[in-house]
Amino acid sequence: MSSVPKTFHGADSGKNITRLIKMKNFKMNKFNKIQSTVSVLNIDNIDTDQIIGSDHLKITNKSGLGKHLFSDWRYHEDGSNNESFILNHPSSKNAKVLVAGDNFGCGSSREHAPWAILDYGIEVVISSSIADIFANNAFKNGLLPIQLGHDKHDFLLASHGTAITVDLQQQTISCDGQSFSFEIEPFAKYCLLNGLEQLDFLVEQLDQIKQYEIDTNKQINAKEYV
């Protein structure tokens, strides 16, 4: 009869998860309600390379990536600001909500894209269509991606500089006298509301994980003696 490998024991599993948490250098903030102005970037098919260029992908520190957000559009070749780009306009100053054209975040998978958006100060991205991989990366890092129907999206595209409230708990958007709801996957909502990255969520379940592995270990040992 062979013994159960040590890695099956709940205590070791807990240590492994805790070790991963200590390796993280990122803490998500709790997301509840955002009150801001709308910044509109009415361009379709904005891909992740336009969000942040591939020459910045070797950077592993999220802090400071915001200055590279949309850099090909925000800056001239000499490095000076492109004043015609909407994020450089005074009406976009301190805006935390970005309304973009259709199919936002398409292209290659790069977690640096939501990193750069968040570091710039944007906390909500709204479009009529958001690429799945980008949306998943956004949720994992505390950025709220919202997909709306075309009528609601068109309304917000015409609302640049207008005050907006995004309430995650109630799943509502209020802007210029209009209010409408949005959909979000329950697990993503739970993590955002509680400021939990996926590893943090695992730590919350650590006692249950340990008990499950202990029970499984007993079942395996019992079968070996049959």
DSSP secondary structure string for all residues of 149-216: -HHHHHHHHT-TT-EEEEETTTTEEEETTEEEE----HHHHHHHHHT--HHHHHHHTHHHHHHHHHHH
pLDDT of residue 19: 55
Q: In terms of domains, do 170 and 209 share one? A: no
pLDDT tens digits for range 138-189: 999 999 999 999 999 999 999 999 999 999 999 999 999 999 999 999 999 9
As a residue count, the chain comes to: 226
**Together in a domain, 175 and 216:** no
| Domain span at 208 | 6-24+201-224
Q: How many CB atoms lie within 10 A of CB 83?
A: 10
* Apex 153 CA angle, 28 and 180, nearest 5: 75
Please tell me the total count of domains within the chain: 2
**Statement to judge: residues 73 and 16 lie in one domain:** no
Q: Indicate whether 1 belongs to any domain.
A: no
> What is the spatial distance between Cα 140 and Cα 91, in angstroms, rounded to a whole number?
29
Mean pLDDT of 177-205: 85
Q: What angle, rounded to 10 degrees, do the helices at 112-120 and 132-141 form? A: 50
> Do 132 and 219 share a domain, yes or no?
no
